[in-house]
Structure 1
Amino acid sequence: MALILFNKPYGVLCQFSGERTGPPRPTLAAFIDRPGFYPAGRLDLDSEGLLLLTDDGRLQARIADPRFKTPKTYLVQVEGDPDEAALDALRRGVRLKDGMTLPAEAEQINDPALWPRDPPVRFRKTVPDCWLRLTIREGRNRQVRRMTAAVGLPTLRLVRWRIGDWTLDGIEPGQWRNAQTPAGDAI
């Protein structure tokens, strides 16, 4: 059983083969040359950050399956300036088209020291933006983006920083490293 921590760059597909339609896009195969590894969960094309890959199907399911409620922490740049009501709504759970979300941990944070995004996030002098740290225990499609939009704070940039005990700390975009499995076995 092996585990890889990968810092997925913006614009990279969370799969090893390309799409059959549309323009060619970079895939995981451009960064990781380890046969038999598969992502435990996904990140959208326009999201960045921590992606776990494993060669063990049970571990993959345990990490990705919402029944296990593995916490996932995101650094989210949003358009607007959140008030306490918006943060409280995120903390209580937000009603989306597919139902209520579980309560999240949500707080406004100082701008994190992240790598520049390519392409950069649009900047508008007349519209403020800020950063949130949001921890969820589900994994619905585009959930964080839909949650912030539901409270009036559209997402501009989304970086997954942590999954369970694994973090992106010290891993540059497009880079990966071996990690320890939950049992503590060194890889």
Structure 2
Amino acid sequence: MSRLILFNKPYGVLCQFTNESTGAPRPTLADYIDLPGVYPAGRLDLDSEGLLLLTDDGRLQARIADPRYKMPKTYLVQVEGEPTDASLDALRKGVRLKDGPTLPAEVERIAAPDLWPRDPPVRFRKTVPDCWLRLTIREGRNRQVRRMTAAVGLPTLRLVRWSIGDWTIEGIAPGEWRAA
């Protein structure tokens, strides 16, 4: 029987079990998960937080990570600025990035979610408004959500992956994991 782990990746943690870079040492999955034989199904950037799925099943790993399967990934995104109807419509239709157009996203403005504090905190600027979006995509290009929001004039300040398919981090604290 295959294993599936739901991990709430904290900000600043590498999505790998070793830190082979020559730069400053960074925390890795090995600092949080001591289970042999499980590997991440997809990635989250160093500066992104939230749900990372790990499994020991190569087929399941491919189904989760491969864009062919168009598994929905939902993010809570704090952006700089106030979204307009036009910027939200552009995300809903798909935006053109340097590596081509994106598939349409589901997006809505939401109230600030009740999330854990981020360390380090997001920089607050009195003169620049920010807001939160719930954004769902069905692809997984490198830094895609950040590039999409920037393309419509809304730079991302904080990015938390909330769910992948039916799996969610609800009730899982940062740095914690549970078996699905």
Tell me, in whole angstroms, the C-alpha distance in 2 between the residues paired with 1:84 and 1:76: 17
Task: After TM superposition, give the deviation of residue 21 of structure 1 in Å.
Answer: 1.1
- Residue in structure 1 matched with residue 151 of structure 2 by the alignment: 150
- Return the alpha-carbon distance in structure 2 between the equivalents of residues 41 and 14 of structure 1: 9
Aligned partner of 1:77 in structure 2 is: 78
Match of 1:111 in 2: 112
Name the SS for the 2:175 alignment partner.
coil
Moved over 4 A (4+): none
Q: Deviations over 1:42-69 (max 9, x none)?
A: 0000000000000000100000000000
* Structure 2 counterpart of 1:2, one-letter code: R
Partners of 1:2 and 1:28 lie apart in 2 by 16
Deviation, 1:20, is: 2.6
* d(CA) in 2 for partners of 1:153, 1:19: 34
Equivalence map 1:45-56=2 (5 Å): 45-56=46-57
Distance 1:161 1:20 in 2: 28
Identify the residue that residue 63 of structure 1 maps to in structure 2. 64
CA distance in 1, matches of 2:163, 2:86: 25
Work out the CA distance in 1 between the residues paired with 2:109 and 2:90: 13
Aligned partner of residue 75 in structure 2, secondary structure:
strand
Structure 2 CA distance for aligned equivalents of residues 76 and 87 of structure 1: 13
Q: Any gaps of 5 or more consecutive residues in structure 2?
A: none
CA–CA separation in structure 1 for the residues paired with 2:43 and 2:165: 15
Write the distance in 2 (CA, Å) between the matches of 1:20 and 1:169. 32
The SS at the match of 2:51 is: strand
Hey, what does 2:134 align to over in structure 1?
133
Secondary structure of 2:60's partner?
helix
Matched residues in 1 for 2:21 and 2:173: separation?
A: 29
Partner of 2:41: 40
d(CA) in 2 for partners of 1:87 and 1:135?
12
Report the counterpart of residue 174 of structure 2 in structure 1: 173
Aligned length: 179
The offset of 1:19, in angstroms, is: 2.6
Q: Secondary structure at the match of 1:11?
A: coil
Distance in 2, matches of 1:20 and 1:141, equals 19
Identical aligned pairs, as a percentage? Answer: 84
The one-letter code sitting in structure 2 at the alignment partner of 1:63 is I
Q: CA deviation at 1:174?
A: 0.1
**Take 1:97 and 1:138, find their aligned partners in 2: how far apart are those partners?**
15
Cα displacement string for residues 21-40 of structure 1 (whole angstroms, at most 9, x for unaligned residues): 10000000000000000000
CA distance in 1, matches of 2:84, 2:108: 11
How far apart, CA to CA, are the structure 1 residues paired with 2:30 and 2:60? 21
For residue 119 of structure 1, give the secondary structure of its aligned residue in structure 2.
coil
